[in-house]
Amino acid sequence: MKKLNVLLLLVFLSTVVSAQTNYTPSKENVANREWFQDAKFGLFIHWGVYSVMAGGGDHGIAEWIMNQKKIPIQQYKKLPSFFNPVQFDPAEWVSMVKKAGMKYITITSKHHDGFAMYASKISDYNIVDQTPYGKDVLKQLKEECDKQGIKLFIYYSQLDWHHPDYYPRGRTGQDFTGRPKQGEWSEYIDYMNTQLTELLTNYGEIGGIWFDGMWDKPNADWQLDETYGLIHKLQPGAMVGSNHHKEPIPGEDFQMFERDLPGENTMGFNQTNTISELPIEMCETMNGSWGFNIKDQNYKSSKQLIQTMVKAAGYGANFLLNTGPMPNGKIQPENIDTLMVIGDWMEKYGKSIYGTRKGPIKPLKWGATTQKGNTIYLHVLQLAEENLLIPNVETKIKAITFFDDDSKVNYKITDFGTLLHIPYDKRNDTDTILKVEI
Interacting residue ranges for ligand JFZ, rule: CB under 6 A:
63-64, 212, 215, 243, 258, 269, 283, 290
CB 211 within 8 A of CB 156: yes
Nearer to ligand JFZ, 230 or 320 (CB): 320
Q: Which residue is nearest to ligand JFZ (CB)?
A: 215
Q: Considering the complex, what minimum distance in angstroms separates the CB of residue 283 from ligand JFZ? A: 6
Q: Considering the complex, what minimum distance in angstroms separates the CB of residue 417 from ligand JFZ? A: 38
Interacting residues of 421 by C-beta distance below 8 A, sequence separation 6+ = 386, 387, 409, 410, 411
**DSSP, residue by residue, 157-169:** ES--SS-TTS-S-
Please return the burial class of 178, using the count of CB atoms within 10 Å of its CB with bins 0-12, 13-18 and 19+. Answer: exposed
Q: Considering the complex, what minimum distance in angstroms separates the CB of residue 243 from ligand JFZ? A: 5
Q: Considering the complex, what minimum distance in angstroms separates the CB of residue 373 from ligand JFZ? A: 34
Q: Considering the complex, what minimum distance in angstroms separates the CB of residue 434 from ligand JFZ? A: 34
Indicate the residue type of 133: Y
Nearer to ligand JFZ, 25 or 173 (CB): 173
Of residues 431, 352, 417, 426, the one with CA closest to residue 388: 417
Containing H/E element for 129? Answer: helix 127-130
Nearer to ligand JFZ, 35 or 269 (CB): 269
Nearer to ligand JFZ, 66 or 434 (CB): 66
Q: State the Cα–Cα distance between residues 427 and 379, nearest whole angstrom.
A: 11
Pairing of strands 357-358, 255-258: unpaired
Strand partners, 417: 414
Interacting residues of 176 by C-beta distance below 8 A, sequence separation 6+ = 70, 71, 72
Q: Considering the complex, what minimum distance in angstroms separates the CB of residue 290 from ligand JFZ? A: 4
Task: Name the 3-class secondary structure at 192.
Answer: helix
Q: State the Cα–Cα distance between residues 302 and 212, nearest whole angstrom.
A: 27
Q: Considering the complex, what minimum distance in angstroms separates the CB of residue 244 from ligand JFZ? A: 9
Nearer to ligand JFZ, 36 or 215 (CB): 215
Nearer to ligand JFZ, 33 or 245 (CB): 245
Strand partners, 408: 401
Nearer to ligand JFZ, 208 or 237 (CB): 208
